[in-house]
Amino acid sequence: MNFEFPLIAQYYSFLVTAAGKAALTAQTYCQTIRFLYEWKQSGENVPKGSPEQQMSVQELTLFVIWRKTQGADERTVSKDISALRSFGDFLVVTGRWTENTASVLEKPDVSKKLPRVLTVEQVNLMLDSIDVSKPLGVRDRTLFELIYSCGLRISEACGLLIENVHLSEHLIMVNGKGSKQRIVPFGSQAALWLKKWLEEVRPGIVGNKAVPFVFVNYQGKGLSRKGVWKRFQNLEEESGVTAKVHTLRHSFATHLLAGGADLRSVQELLGHSDITTTQIYTQVDNEVLRDYHRDFFPGHKTEADDK
């Protein structure tokens, strides 16, 4: 990440080491602080000084209002406030601020949208549309099969190491957000394709190169997030199923709950630090059940339909 202001580079290091934030979260927070610097330098009805000097609650509030005038929605503003609070902690720790005035900023009420999920039939249709007669087709089938079977984030799939795949035990060791590791089982279909990819196809692509990652591109290098997104877009066109890569993770969680898995187990499998994050899938599951009810009993209404 390119840091225009030296202090932001120090703040980034603070986030990923002392605060234990994931790299992507740290980058998002640093982007907010870059906006804060730019706002302070704009000089348009802005209090003089640098963010490195103690800022008042009123001044920070003006910045948040400015962000809204720039088109930031409630969700973005909420992330901005999290960044400001964290930045305030950093400035207090480093002795630049005497108190973290950002800690009293209140986040806007962000209504959680239910994540979109696919049916099992849609997942199968998407996976079955992959042309596995080609080497990279086998890779794609293995990749998306594993993302669905284990509820992986894209970054987790791209960063999966060969040494962390245990084929005989049907287990993988996943490096999640904040460098937290978790063990996740995978199903028989994922095991079948993993074995084919690792033992029959991948060696022919990698050759003599020592590449630690499970998934590689046509050059034998580690597969990038951008590469996964691009391939998934092609997969949407081929299958006719509209979704995002992350939809497979949402579908994994919802299908587990629909199958009777308890919430705490799903939380562990997804790598959520807070169970309230996982609870949203119970609402999705209820939506799915209501859809089934409407399909099979069209003459009846649930209480939720009357609301």
| pLDDT for res 286 | 67
First to last CA, the chain: 48
Active site residue 153: yes
Q: Which domains does the chain have, with CATH numbers?
A: 6-104 (1.10.150.130), 120-296 (1.10.443.10)
75 a catalytic residue = no
More confident residue, 193 or 1: 193
Distance CA 240, CA 47 (A): 54
- Residue of 21, 153, 250, 255 with catalytic role: 153
Range in 34-38, 105-109, 110-114, 269-273 the model is least confident about: 110-114
Does the annotation mark 113 as catalytic? Answer: no
Neighbours of 190 (CB within 10 A): 21
Does 255 participate in catalysis according to the annotation? no
User: What is the edge-to-edge ordering of all strands in the sheet holding 181-185?
Assistant: 165-166, 171-175, 181-185
Per-residue pLDDT tens over the stretch 107-146 = 876 666 677 889 889 999 999 999 999 999 999 999 999 9
Given 246, 290, 293, 294, the catalytic residue: 246
Annotated active-site residue 281? The verdict is yes
pLDDT range class, residue 224, cuts 50, 70, 90: very high
Active-site residue, from 75, 107, 177, 225: 177
From residue 123, how far is each of 128, 144, 147, 172, 241 by CA, in Å? 8, 10, 11, 21, 8
Whole-model pTM over 0.85: no
Q: Using CA of residue 228, residue 230, residue 245, residue 272, what is the dihedral sign? A: positive
Q: Is 272 a catalytic residue?
A: yes
Greatest extent of the chain over all pairs of C-alpha atoms, in Å: 67
Residue recorded with tokens 């949203």: 280
Is a pLDDT exceeding 60 seen at residue 2? no
Query: Do residues 211 and 153 lie in contact, with contact meaning Cβ atoms separated by under 8 Å?
Result: no
Average pLDDT over residues 32-60: 86
